[in-house]
Chains A and B, each alone.
Chain A
């Protein structure tokens, strides 16, 4: 098997270029790249930047599918460039473009900030009515493994924006929150410790809200982390309809009861602030 040398494959790479200082609209530039087995699209971009054209701009950070910086259109499909091997996609031509449905900053860099703004606006953190307990916690909140499973899948979102680029509603509707923020809203609404379901529900059920999803399913098709935003959105619609009819089961977690035999330290000191 070792004799089998991997033949270097020469492919044409088309990269969408856009310089806000010079260009009125994006243009395409062509490169030739020697591809080896195992080479990711991000590796290829680095190779081109190092050996052919240092002016190419692309964003990356972790290089291992965790940070969500390097999402781009790879042969017409939104994906993480660090997570996609070139030879899995093509053996002849590779087309790279920035994620659509965002504003374009430069070359392959889309401006994800509006998405982060929407995420921020949806109050994506545990919110409770027992403010006193939140400020000065005495015990943990009770949560069974089953309750955890109800939202665990949606916690894997890395906010890369691939789903936003694939979503047909996002293509025209600027007020639609998009698959990622809606899925994250459901992630907190499905969390048994959360107390702000109705408030968050009102936010997403506004005009141009969650009901502008018509299940084209593209977001779940392209999600690089298997988060399945489409599922989260449909489950949230179900909750909204149930609560419209007053049938929603409110299942907010209570404080964990202290087991009979357990002993607690009199006072648990919080570590000192570091900042």
Chain B
């Protein structure tokens, strides 16, 4: 039953990623949709980056995407490693390590998204 829960959320995370990362791709790589990139020039120019960082909606989707990708990716990694048939003790330890690393990375990414909201549009 526990595994059903893990797996179901793995699938839900996949769908979330499909939608949000799809949006992210459109924003970053199809500059003709200029809503989130008001400045002329590349999407990675500071003006555009600062604009996107201050946008509440994008900051929110970044955090959701971050959590979803970390969960989806680490569950997938865990599945692959488990299928290699390691010892039970290794499996338990590996799950704990993935949770810790995942939460730390989530913390870093979330901090960056929130801190970036305070940025001034430079120059």
Contact = CB atoms under 8 A, between A and B. Distances in A.
For the side of the interface on A, what is the size category?
20 to 34
Interface residues of B, number: 15
A43 to B, nearest CB: 38
B83 A176 contact: yes
Contacts of A243: 4
Interface stretch (A116-124, A153-161, A205-213): A205-213
B7 interface: yes
Contact of A172 (B1, B6, B83, B91): B83
A176 B3 CA distance: 13
B85 A207 contact: no
B43 to A, nearest CB: 35
Contacts of A176: 83
A200 to B, nearest CB: 12
A237 B4 CA distance: 8
A172 B4 contact: no
A150 interface: no
A201 B7 CA distance: 14
**Chain B interface, >50% SS class:** helix
B14 to A, nearest CB: 13
B121 interface: no
Contacts of A174: 85
Contacts, number: 46
A241 interface: yes
Given A241-B8, A244-B8, A173 B82 contact: yes
Contacts of B30: none
B83 A169 contact: yes
B108 interface: no
A209 B83 CA distance: 10
Interface in B1-24: 1-8, 11
A51 to B, nearest CB: 43
B79 interface: yes
Nearest to B75: A211
Contacts of B79: 211-212
What 7 A-B pairs are tightest by C-beta distance, nearest first? Answer: A211-B7, A173-B83, A205-B4, A240-B4, A244-B4, A205-B3, A241-B8
Interface of B: 1-8, 11, 79, 82-85, 91
